[in-house]
Structure 1
Amino acid sequence: MKKKDETIRLLVPRAAADRLQSHLTRRGFIRLGGAAMGGWVLVACGGDSAGTTAATATTAATGTTAATATTAGTATTAAPTGEIGGNLSIYTWAEYQNPENEAAFEADTGVDVIVDIYESNEAAIAKLELAGASAGYDIVVPTSGFIKLMVAKDLLLEMDMSRMPNVANIDPAIAALQNTDGIAGLYSVVKDWGSTGWVYDASVITEPLVTWGDFLTAAARPDVTGLVSVLGAPGDVTGIVFWRDGIDWNTTDPAHLDHAEEVLLTELAPHLKAFDSYPGVTLVAGEYVLSQAWNGDARVAVIEDPERYKWGLGAPKTELWVDTWAILKSAANVDAAYAWINNILDPAVSAKEIEWHGYDTAVLGTQEHLPADLPAPEIIFFTEEEKSRLVAGEVNEAQDRIVEIYNNLQAAAGV
């Protein structure tokens, strides 16, 4: 196999150069590579099962929960993949696959794995539509609720599940959440799942944050204002208000949407420093005190200093999302794409993924491969009470208005 040129090259604005130099770490590099495209962006995670909580859905699907299921059953292991060759180009979220697994796959198959990053489902879809086959990607990692839209746009290949025997290792409860519309299960398989909350510097915010109301109150503190970030995802940002105020996250009521805009513009905009989908490293660097975050990224900060950086899962309600592996219809190396997905669903390989990105992969049998001293497992594997807070999101007719609110918040915050 031809040796890859492993030189890292980035084209970034001059203003970002100092930040890049100071934050370039093994885990932080990928984080900085994912500038979102302009225009329409949406929640990075979420499904199509509005009003269904994770605890209810997982129990209904299998009579057990994901945390229990990952320790149960007999897992299927991957057959040797053998020589395939060529490139495998994966279009995905930042910090979302273990480089050790990439290297092992490359050694086993002769495939060079190339990774490109996005920050929102919409940014990915817009680029794929615009570039078509010339985008050059084989695999994309959309949130399950967006699969139906991507199928309608003729972007995805219907999967041949017989080419991925390790699909049998996926927890049926999470697979059911991924496939609520009956389409996602034909064109994708589960990658992992998680939720949204906050991470903060406890040397500044000394009182525990318990609810989204606490989040907004803390943001306005004199020692916190101007050091706050929220996700670069409109659904998550408007969700702060809906979850706090007991409003259905999937509401289409204009009055609810107007209320969310008013709260965000008056209670949050004056205190924002950034819209950042990957704030963990930046928080540790001292640039934020309080950040809305997905659980795996928040874990990056907590692991750095568990006494100083604290995670909280959103309450009284917050998001459930399931991200997926999907193969593009324009893929140039379909054989490598199937081999990659099948390999990543092997329990031993999947356990390494969990260690790296901090999300539950829903692969049965991973627990026995995880180290006994796995840092911050409570941020990866939720309790039953925590699961009862989780609600899946929809892509519905309110989406344009949600994006408008998000854009207005950005303008008001001036960041």
Structure 2
Amino acid sequence: MSASGGGDIVHGAGLPSPRWWRRYRDIPLIILAVLSLIAALVGWVTQYRLDEAAAQPAAFAPAPGADDGTFAACGPEAAVPDEQPWIDDAAASEQVWAANADSLDEPVVLGQDGWAFYNDQVEESFSQAVGRRYLTVGEVGAWHDYFSTLAEALDAQGIEFSIQIIPSASTIYPEQLPEWTAGIVGSTPLDQFLAASSDLPVVDFRHDLRAAAASDAVFTPVNSHWTDWGGYVAWETYAACRDATNAADTPFWVPAIDAVESTRVYNEYAAYGVPDAEPAWTVPDFAEDFADVEVVAADGSKVTIDGSKPMDYALLPASTTTEAAKTSAEALILRDSMGNALTPYWGQEFAKTRQELHRYDDWSTPPNYRALVDQYQPDIVIVQLAERHLVNAPPAGVGTGY
């Protein structure tokens, strides 16, 4: 209270503002609004440019000097097409595609010499085969972030890691694509993924499969899966890779073979009216004995199988135990149907395996690697996936569990 008994007076309180100030009193608010608009515009432009950059085609070949040599033994570098018609002249390539629309009406596209290929209803397979469906910078980045996060987490736990992408039949036999595709075949998503992944433990099977195909079929004309012989060739590639990157360990076992045999035609496309075609399915004739493998299938049933025979993915999730395995190591394997041809070697090399579907075809139930590792305590984690799944890049917000 003041000495006069009235309330304390704050200087200027309750007094009207001068008339000259009234016309300027909204200026700070106007300035703030303008600055907010500018910030929003800058943010929008920046995001637009980032989105535009992410939507550009990813590189098809590694940048010079990108490979530090760590994984150089994990597959000799395969040749990349000299031209990229779906990048360099997409309009002309689309004209060729449209002119052959009649050839693209069915679920299966007929190639040369009796060969057939899935059309685009299966993960844009035929568009992938010719390079029409390529990966963007954003898609390649999503895969790389996904696998590098997993690689770092497993390395911190002292767990070995291997990524094994099985090429499509058209990647190994591009010469069997339809004649009308001549001139419009470019690189595939696998080329792009590998170009960005020299720092990841990826096994590149393409070179060795193409070399082996010169003498015996590693794919057949009427099946999208590689043959048992193709799986053997790939195991040789992986064993060489693993031995080079883990030189202190005992080399992986590669069984000797006496010959490559042709069995019968397994026509995956028969339901679409595609006739049988040679060469038939090829299998290695092993010169060594395989130990029996005990399999615990998804329904809990137990069965002992001939270790030299493939284990079908329909049994998954499944666990295997091999008493006479080459090592005491245990493997966690996330795989698809292309892994069938590799199961004989997994079962002989590892005392135990846990094999699960990765479901990279739709990401409806993505694998939680952290939970699986905690449950099964593996010495090595192998991710095996078919090339065609690469167009299904990990969605935003989906991770590995780490």
Q: TM-score, normalised by structure 2?
A: 0.27
Name the TM-score, length of structure 1 as normaliser: 0.26
More helix by share: 1
Greater relative CO, 1 or 2 (CA 8 Å, sep 6+):
1
Larger Rg: 2
